[in-house]
A and B are shown apart, each in its own frame.
Chain A
Amino acid sequence: MTFDWPTALPLIFAGLMGLAILIYVVLDGFDLGIGILFAAAEDEEQDTMIAAIGPFWDANETWLVLAVGLLLVAFPMAHGTILTALYLPVFVLLVGLILRGVAFDFRAKVPAGRKHRWNRIFFLGSATASLAQGYMLGVYVLGLDVGPGGMAFGALVALCLSAAYAAMGSAWLIYKTEGDLQRKAVRWLRTTLVLTALGMVAVSLATPFASPRIFDKWFLWPEIFYLSPLPIVSALLFLWLWRQTFHLPKPNDQHAIRPFLTLAAIFALGFAGLAWSFYPFVVPDRLTIWQAASAPESLAVILAGTVVVLPIIIFYSFYAYRVFAGKATDLTYD
């Protein structure tokens, strides 16, 4: 096979977009999850929880802008098709993101009596945004089916993705906090893990049975053999993490970041499975990545910049996380 840019560029951009979505889901997943867990936390715990995500959430959400941006700039046809089909869920997502984003700042700056109100808004916004993302994932998985069946399935995935985000949030809190809150986070993790597993099973089963094309990609020999590690490794990681929740926190708080990394790995495996199912379509069974792509010369211009800038972004993102490494302390502006 000879290498030619018009074929390769849409593929590269699909990969980049997938990477951006995955990073977004993992990173904003934990701070959305912490917003959901707000409902179960005491007042002073909430301040610590905010301190655990305060310096990061802005950059985390930027990955969503990059993912949507890449969809917008690399696959303009798909951007329009997907977003007009999901008009109302997208709107709900945006309202949720707006509310939680500003609540972050307002809760710290309003007179003390009003703080409670913004804490509630922070929870509501986080929960709404997570539910909307799950709903969209469910509808997308069934090929943008917005009939009653699609909506019911969307509702199920909405619940499970929110639980998965809450699990990410719990795992992040295990890493970033100590004492009572940390022990509480371990219990939260155990509870939310059940729904997370249920959601992944539901999506994994629904995807092949909703589309014969996807069924053939998974269950024909030899594909079924090559692909079997995906579900098996995911299941093993789940089991291991479940057992861990009975032994956390470890003496001297060793390996506190492991639950988070394990969950991130599970997310990555699940995401890889979805990517395999839908390839080469960007709008399921309607538009392939090549049909939806921008002109090669425009993609080349973006790629040139991406190749230079993306490593720098990843480098300074790591740096920002390192500056605020360790257990979260109260956030002050000084």
Chain B
Amino acid sequence: MDPLILSRIQFGANISFHILFPAITIALGWVLLFFKLRYNATGDSAWMRAYFTWVKVFALSFAMGVVSGVTMSFQFGTNWPGYMETVGNIAGPLLAYEVLTAFFLEAAFLGIMLFGFRRVSNRVHTLATVLVAGGTTVSAFWIIALNSWMQTPAGFEMRDGKAHALDWWAVVFNPSMPYRLVHMLLASGLTVSFLIAGPSALRYLYGDRSESMWKALRTGVFTAAILIPVQIFAGDQHGLNTLEHQPQKIAAMEANWNTGPNVPLVLFALPDEQAKENRFEIAIPDGASLVLRHSASGVVPGLNDYPGNHPPVFPVFWGFRIMVGTGILMLIVSWSAAWFLKRRRSLPKPLALIMVPMAPSGWLATLAGWYTTEIGRQPWLVTGVLKTADAVGPVAGSHVALTLAVYLILYVLLLLAYLGVLLHLALKAAKDGDTSPLPGVMNAALSQPAAGE
């Protein structure tokens, strides 16, 4: 078997599994801080109950993110030695700064955040929450800087086949970096909003009308309703940035085979790369030209300009549509739910029923978006610098096949266990409602008063 394609599937599987959990922890850290600050300000113990319910999800997600992240740091070497050998001078410092400024910060203060409520003052516990949330965000900053540099490299020169940094500012803040970072942070916010709203809706359906359920539900729904239009705008800006710097990716996303004006916006099609045409196409005339160039006669790049140097069309085209479709669904659901919560102070059952399976919708959109941009970078690993095929290591295909099979089984089982725990926690919370024991009630020794009891 071909080690290249197997290694690619393996890395794709690993990084897909990994991103699910940072997508949660980045924003969930800030949501927990919000719960904590509301509790500090109001003394309402329902906020602390919401905190303790969701901090468990945070702990579990964090552990899943750590172990799958460790796996990736090794896979750079085991499967892709050509990557660090060619661009190690750039990627190395960015990864090193991620470990130094983010990983240790998160890991050290996570213990205090999770288990230290009784052992440190309220102020220090809040500070620990800030540092953990900040750490996850700083981590996202560095890794997005590196990923964006691979998409739109800048600030370097090639000497003897190796990249050398010339201007670190240009390396970090490369052309696509700010757009990608904002897009990803918002994606994390939306993932968490729906992740909180879904199980809260489940609790609601089970008849739980406790204050902590309402607080979590409102937080999830209103955050989603606010973030989704911002995300649509940010995504559009990111798309225009891609049009400028990676036009071949846009051509594949739009399945546009020929450069020209009056390009339609394809809603549905089965792109056929052999025949260089779309089958079963449903399209809005001039749509793509209008979206991308704000004029019906605007010229949109086509795949014919990049023979042999453009990404595979089918997955990029569909990845993009799944992401956008999920986003539109998120907009409809979150705005309807927000309207009912605001005006009627209740939630219609059918809407709650839709929100439960929407809990992982952020995962779907995030994965689809990353597939679009990462497959859209092919055949390059680092655009214009290093081809994916040139970075793969000298490991036998049979070895990669074996490890890939075990990883896949492991990831599926872990994902099922993770979702099972989420469901278990939601059902338990629904049963306990506001009677779940609070710190200070359960045990005597406590530095923290749980006010409002």
Contact = CB atoms under 8 A, between A and B. Distances in A.
B275 interface: no
Interface string B388-405: 000001110001001100
Nearest to B48: A334
Nearest to A304: B93
Contact of A55 (B114, B168, B393): B114
B18 to A, nearest CB: 11
B13 to A, nearest CB: 13
A334 B68 contact: no
Given A98-B68, A109-B424, A69 B107 contact: no
Interface string A87-106: 11011011101110110111
A97 B60 contact: no
B341 interface: no
Contact of B96 (A62, A73, A316, A317): A73
A106 B417 contact: yes
Interface residues of A, number: 65
Nearest to B88: A76
Contacts of A74: 92
Interface in A67-91: 68-74, 76-77, 79-84, 86-88, 90-91
A316 B74 contact: no
Contact of B117 (A102, A305, A334): A334
Interface in B290-318: none
Nearest to B403: A91
Contact of B66 (A55, A58, A70, A324): A58
B81 A59 contact: no
Contacts of A90: 74, 78
A317 B88 CA distance: 29
Given A80-B85, A84-B393, A324-B115, A106 B60 contact: yes
Contacts of B120: 323
B74 A58 contact: no
Contacts of A332: 115, 118, 439, 442-443
B287 interface: no
A301 interface: yes
B111 A294 contact: no
A94 B73 CA distance: 10
Contacts of B81: 76, 79-81, 83-84
A65 B60 contact: no
Interface stretch (A2-10, A234-242, A306-314): A306-314
B73 A72 contact: yes
A305 B165 contact: no
Contacts of A331: 115
A229 B112 CA distance: 41
Nearest to A316: B108
B406 A95 contact: yes
A34 B403 CA distance: 27
Interface in B353-389: none
A105 B414 CA distance: 12
Nearest to A325: B119
A144 to B, nearest CB: 13
A79 to B, nearest CB: 4
B89 A294 contact: yes
B107 A62 contact: yes
Contacts, number: 223
A324 B116 contact: yes
A61 interface: yes
Contacts of A54: 111, 115
Contacts of A55: 111-112, 114-116
B103 interface: yes
A81 B104 CA distance: 27
Taking chain B's interface residues, is the majority helix, strand, or loop, or is none over half, making it mixed?
helix
B399 A76 contact: no
B92 A97 contact: no
A76 B109 CA distance: 31
A15 to B, nearest CB: 15
Given A55-B115, A109-B421, A313 B104 contact: yes
Interface string A125-160: 000000000000000000000000000000000000
B395 A87 contact: yes
Contacts of B85: 76-77, 80
Contacts of B91: 73
Contact of B107 (A58, A95, A301): A58
Contacts of B60: 102, 105-106, 109
Contacts of A71: 77
B161 interface: no
Interface string B49-66: 000100110011011101
A278 interface: no
Contacts of B112: 55, 320, 323
Interface string B4-40: 0000000000000000000000000000000000000
Q: Which of A55, A93, A317 has the most CB of B within 10 A?
A: A55
A98 B71 contact: yes
B67 interface: yes
Nearest to A96: B67
Interface of A: 54-56, 58-59, 61-62, 64-66, 68-74, 76-77, 79-84, 86-88, 90-91, 93-95, 97-99, 101-102, 104-106, 109-111, 294-295, 297-298, 301-302, 305-306, 309-310, 313, 316-317, 319-320, 323-324, 331-334
14 contacts: A56-B111, A58-B110, A62-B107, A64-B70, A77-B85, A88-B403, A91-B406, A98-B414, A102-B67, A105-B59, A305-B97, A306-B100, A323-B111, A334-B438
Given A59-B110, A65-B69, 16 more contacts: A66-B103, A69-B96, A72-B76, A73-B84, A79-B76, A80-B82, A95-B410, A98-B68, A110-B424, A305-B101, A323-B120, A332-B115, A332-B118, A332-B443, A333-B56, A334-B439
